[in-house]
Structure 1
């Protein structure tokens, strides 16, 4: 039996920026869309972080265009699930972490918080490694030194947070434009097979039957549908100053969904672009063994015949890592405050999160050498995928509950679709876990 929320949130989500961005009155589409554009970009950057690069490169180099269908399906899943997340935030006035803390017992909420922290740490691990790799490729800085340097972005993020939320959104958009331009150039000179791309967008049974393809495919799923992004989106959508009426909430959900869908469409272009580039440059030239970002950087210039290819590749990687760092910081703050109602200094919260990622990256690199970096990146995305169900199931439960969501509850059709998506995610993860443990 469903029931209403137990109580009102003790504090607004991200209270320092809650409702700080004005929205226009009236129904002008473009004027309203401009006002609500921004949160979707912050969410989208999580779908194109360095972890995505590792899985997409591995998929394209090893299997050609085959796994394009996985990126497409994962992107569709992401668009639908992010719609639920933003709807929860607007309709209930709660982010997903607050909703879990309100609806579940304290032990369950603490368990979900711990699981989410693992996901954030896995994501941050990818950002640390990706940024360190980019620094090495561009400036020759050793990986271990680059990993330590990434601690400094704690203070950079704090500086921009104090300038207002629109400033953060503008920075993210600028870095996104850099990434898009870099990959547009890479794709243009790589001359990929149009027939191969179109064929790759059609799902194939080999993805499930081949253990190697399945491992990378689930890594792509984990890198595309990111659990902490569901918490993030349900919070940052509340930065817009809307009235507490059904009409204004419906308007906010409409334009926030446009923002999210367009932004995730851009993320699909980037992810598909990385895989297509790897398929065209490496798989198509009998270089299927290239599954490492460093190898890709070194081979792009001679394979594509352009001196700019490798540089732009590394620049895009650095922009990707720094973008994902911004959103990871916010997500960490949201889940700690929402689940535990615990507020600590932002710099300390960020430093703790970064150290959790830096310590394993530093010691694995130190002990096993830089050759293990690529494997660590792919593994971090599989860990993300394993945590996904713990965020998706509560989200689906809450947004389908009329007692909690009122007129904004999911329709029967949408609820059926999202439960199918949840079952697919859970089933694939359990299948992979069975293979890893030797049961299948």
Structure 2
């Protein structure tokens, strides 16, 4: 059933509400950022970060930082169109593009979601293999159980789910703090890694990993999900209105401004935390593997096996596997929610979350099992990195419509994106297209 007007509207600004402290009122807008940030810490990030850190040391930290800044900008724009229009990116695409374009965008989005789900399946399976000492194919099948478990928690209420997600994110952060303390990185060299290098466009391997980092960090389905999650904060007069409706009225300005302040705080805070986790993972790989001359480490299982002797602690591998499992379980939820938003937005087709989760997870299990069968127990690394490159290649098909809608005067009115943010958004889109073009060119001539 579609949400009711009461669910979409902002709480009335009563006298009691105006006298309430700022924090509780702003806390009502928190939660969407954490759910979106989960997608930026999924097992696909682990594969690319470990490969990048082991092979190039701290050299690709600049790509991690740049991708995180671009992600913040694009998620800020996605949240903005959701709050202002009351519709998500997929709904706006269906309303404003032709049928063929809509079908094409929907198919590209579904491919990206399946690619992301493959990474989640494989990552969760590897974590279960490391913790329970089961075969990888058993872990692949058990990952489906994790999906059902997360959906069961969701039935207890949104706040319960958000609390579980936040708790798992905190667990991941604590695990990395402990591992970095054991690894003792060269922090001066790590700081130097945030300076971009011209080697990026000359080294095919570096470019491949950079594309993987972009795909793992700036995820196209997260743009659809974020705009859908915050669309409930649109003012009553705007939420759910057809495309012909013009931008919010002047009377809605206070409500829109209040919602945007809360949502922006949630977005920037959550994605900053995700950036710190991703940077910590690459720094850990650089300090443990690259510094020891083990530049070919890319498989999660190999990384887990080598951490204990390299860091001289029996806890290092356990912390690594525990954090990986937490990320895998968390990211199953993001894929399901994003799949629902994409299907409902593009096709106006509603199915239950359980059916949606089983559909995408079922499609992801097939290539995961195939990779295990073809490449054996260590076939996860190639599949994980490749899935993130697929995400990078599909990213422009979500970013370009997002910027077009956000800068549309009729749709956004005074809240449209313009000036420096708009320029930066188009520059980001151009860089993504250039990176993808260079990747494809090297693939053709290489």
CA contact (8 A) 1:23 1:36 kept: no
Question: How far did 1:369 drift?
Answer: 1.1
CA contact (8 A) 1:84 1:395 kept: yes
Question: 1:372: which partner in 2?
Answer: 379
2:116 maps to 1:109: no
* Inter-partner Cα distance in structure 2 for 1:157 and 1:17: 27
Q: 1:103 to 1:402 in 2, by over 3 A?
A: same
* Inter-partner Cα distance in structure 2 for 1:127 and 1:17: 35
RMSD in angstroms over aligned alpha carbons?
1.9
2:202 maps to which of 187, 209, 214 = 209
2:369 maps to which of 362, 375, 378 = 362
* Inter-partner Cα distance in structure 2 for 1:50 and 1:172: 15
* Inter-partner Cα distance in structure 2 for 1:17 and 1:218: 43
Question: 2:319: which partner in 1?
Answer: 312
2:173 maps to 1:180: yes
Question: How far did 1:331 drift?
Answer: 0.3
What stretches of structure 2 of length at least 5 have no aligned partner? 238-251
Deviates more, 1:396-405 or 1:361-370: 361-370
Q: Secondary structure at the match of 1:289?
A: coil
Question: 1:147: which partner in 2?
Answer: 140
Q: Deviations over 1:225-260 (max 9, x none)?
A: 000000010011134586552211111111111111
2:217 maps to which of 189, 211, 224 = 224
CA contact (8 A) 2:147 2:333 kept: no
Deviates more, 1:125-134 or 1:230-239: 230-239
Q: Secondary structure at the match of 1:431?
A: helix
2:71 maps to 1:78: yes
Q: 1:196 to 1:29 in 2, by over 3 A?
A: farther
Question: How far did 1:376 drift?
Answer: 0.5
CA contact (8 A) 1:17 1:165 kept: no
What stretches of structure 1 of length at least 5 have no aligned partner? 1-9
Question: How far did 1:154 drift?
Answer: 3.8
Q: Secondary structure at the match of 1:344?
A: coil
2:64 maps to 1:60: no
Deviates more, 1:114-123 or 1:99-108: 99-108
Q: Deviations over 1:306-329 (max 9, x none)?
A: 111100100000000000001111
2:285 maps to 1:282: no
Question: How far did 1:167 drift?
Answer: 1.7
CA contact (8 A) 2:82 2:234 kept: no
* Inter-partner Cα distance in structure 2 for 1:113 and 1:370: 33
Q: How many residues align?
A: 428
Q: Secondary structure at the match of 1:36?
A: coil
* Inter-partner Cα distance in structure 1 for 2:370 and 2:199: 36
* Inter-partner Cα distance in structure 2 for 1:216 and 1:348: 34
Question: 1:263: which partner in 2?
Answer: 270
Q: Deviations over 1:50-88 (max 9, x none)?
A: 000000000000000000000000000001000000001
Question: 2:121: which partner in 1?
Answer: 128
2:112 maps to 1:119: yes
* Inter-partner Cα distance in structure 1 for 2:375 and 2:357: 27
* Inter-partner Cα distance in structure 2 for 1:16 and 1:273: 43
Deviates more, 1:102-111 or 1:27-36: 27-36
2:379 maps to 1:386: no
CA contact (8 A) 1:301 1:308 kept: yes
Question: How far did 1:429 drift?
Answer: 0.5
Question: How far did 1:381 drift?
Answer: 0.3
Q: Deviations over 1:253-278 (max 9, x none)?
A: 11111111011110011100000000
CA contact (8 A) 1:42 1:172 kept: yes
* Inter-partner Cα distance in structure 2 for 1:56 and 1:103: 38
Q: Secondary structure at the match of 1:369?
A: helix
* Inter-partner Cα distance in structure 2 for 1:429 and 1:52: 18
CA contact (8 A) 1:23 1:32 kept: no
Question: How far did 1:18 drift?
Answer: 4.7
1:330 maps to which of 333, 337, 350 = 337
Question: 1:249: which partner in 2?
Answer: 256
Question: How far did 1:32 drift?
Answer: 3.3
Question: How far did 1:17 drift?
Answer: 11
Question: 1:5: which partner in 2?
Answer: none
CA contact (8 A) 1:22 1:241 kept: no
* Inter-partner Cα distance in structure 2 for 1:301 and 1:108: 51
Question: How far did 1:112 drift?
Answer: 0.4
**How high is the TM-score relative to the length of structure 1?**
0.94
CA contact (8 A) 1:147 1:361 kept: yes
Q: 1:255 to 1:147 in 2, by over 3 A?
A: same
Q: Secondary structure at the match of 2:379?
A: helix
* Inter-partner Cα distance in structure 1 for 2:285 and 2:340: 35
